[in-house]
Amino acid sequence: MPSNDGYRVGVVGATGAVGSTILEVLEERRFPASEVIPLASARSAGTKVPFRRSELEVRELTEDSIQGLDIALCSAGGAVSAEWAPKLVEAGAVVVDNTSYWRMHDDVPLVVVDVNDDAVASHSGIVANPNCTTMQLMVAIKPILDAAGIE
């Protein structure tokens, strides 16, 4: 549950290319975050990442650093996601995973915004998305599905 000020959002893999893009999109879309916490490996801990005309200090991904998150946006690779997504859920976060690890798990909904939004309702703490090319293709194909039906 978000506080009255918004969600506490963790960005796992914040120093990578996808993580930095996630931070840009959160800022650009004015996502209702009360706090954004960039998380990465011990090697990246202490570095700064730009966010909302300021800089955020990257924290090491640890059991302590994930406590109290409402949402975790994960893009640090499949091995990291396999290990940390269940820990994030156990700590109370809903995980949106951008890696390949959770995509084909039967108990994890694979969601494409504006295509199958209702699938998110069946999550048990982890939501996956397909790779970037598939997501773009699905958005283009959805109107054809609606108009003519396809399999």
| CA distance linking residue 58 with residue 100, whole number of Å | 24
- pLDDT tens by residue, 108-122: 999 988 888 999 999
Closest Cα partner for 9 from 96, 97, 73, 89?
A: 73
Is pLDDT of 65 > 90?
Answer: yes
Instruction: Look up the pTM and report it.
Output: 0.89
pLDDT tens-digit profile of 1-33? 566 689 999 999 999 999 999 999 999 999 999
pLDDT at 105: 95
Task: Determine the distance from the C-alpha atom of residue 103 to the mean position of all C-alpha atoms in its chain, rounded to a whole number.
Answer: 13
Asked whether the beta carbons of 58 and 39 are under 8 A apart, the reply is yes
Encoded tokens for 50: 């730009």
Classify residue 93 by its DSSP letter.
Answer: P
Q: What is the mean pLDDT of residues 68-92?
A: 97
Strands 94-97, 126-128: pairing kind: parallel
The average confidence (pLDDT) of the chain is: 93
Residue-wise pLDDT for 117-137, tens only, equals: 999 999 999 999 988 888 888
CA dist., res. 7 & res. 2, Å (int)? 4
For position 132, what pLDDT does the model report?
82
Pairing of strands 33-40, 59-60: parallel
